[in-house]
Every structure is written in structure tokens, then in C-alpha cells.
Amino acid sequence: MSAGGSAHWPVELRLKRSEKVLEVTFDDGSRFRLPAEYLRVESPSAEVQGHGPGEKALVHGRAHVGIIGLEPVGNYAVRITFDDLHDTGIYSWSYLYQLGIEHEKRWREYLESLAAKGLTREP
């Protein structure tokens, strides 16, 4: 385990504003390209995740969201500020790693949930 209790430690975070992507490289060699929209709809904030099981909010209309800032939180996480001004999620290194590993599965489930509720990614 690394500092902060994370088994995976980032060695590089690179914000590609024009592509609306956060690239994260971890010490095990894993590299993830995490789109801003994906990070926004999977925000670890209570606003998105709720306060208990089964309370997760389905965030829609964020197809064009970008990232305007990254702020370190201690040595264990990063706060992401999106251009829709959402900034309350603190992304721990382990959560970013999990988002990277589960990107395809989570994204597919997100798209299916939108379709089931008649919602869209477009604002």
C-alpha cells in the first residue's frame, strides 16, 4: 500500500483541456484517458452519489462539459472543477484507478440508464 491507503499511486496527471480528457498514469504502468463527461457523471460528491446505497443521481446533459481546474487534496486525491462549476467531488487515487479499470462497464451502464429514463447526454 502506498501513502494514503491507495494500492495505486499516480505518477502523472495530465489535463488535456481541448480534448476534455484527464490522462492519469499510475505506478503499475496503467494509463487511463478519462473524459471530462465520464468524470462528471461519476463524481464522488454526495450530490451525485447520494448519502447511501441506491441514492446515486443520474446526471444528464453533460456531453460538452470540460475541466477548468485540478487541485491537489493532501497527498491522496484531487479536486476537479468542471466548467459547469461542479467542484465538490474529491477523487481519491484509488477511485480514479477504479474509474479507469471500470470505464467501459460504467459508461455502458450510464448510457443504458439514460436511455431507460428517456434522458440524453446533450444539454
d(CA 118, CA 123): 13
Task: Give the confidence band of 1 by pLDDT, cuts at 50, 70, 90.
Answer: very low
The single residue listed with the C-alpha cell 488535456 is 16
pLDDT in tens, 31-86: 999 999 999 999 999 999 998 888 999 999 999 999 999 999 999 999 999 999 99
d(CA 90, CA 31): 20
This prediction's pTM:
0.93
When the candidates are 3.30.2020.30, 2.40.50.140, 3.40.50.10800, 3.30.420.10, the CATH number that belongs to 3-115 is 3.30.2020.30
C-beta atoms surrounding 16 within 10 Å: 12
Cβ burial of 40 (10 Å; 0-12, 13-18, 19+) is: buried
pLDDT beyond 60 at 4 = no
* pLDDT score, position 2: 41
Task: Give the confidence band of 7 by pLDDT, cuts at 50, 70, 90.
Answer: confident
Share of the chain above pLDDT 90, in %: 89
Domain spans of the chain, in order of start: 3-115
Q: Which of 81, 61, 84 is nearest to 70 (CA)?
A: 81
Task: Give the confidence band of 3 by pLDDT, cuts at 50, 70, 90.
Answer: very low
* pLDDT score, position 17: 96
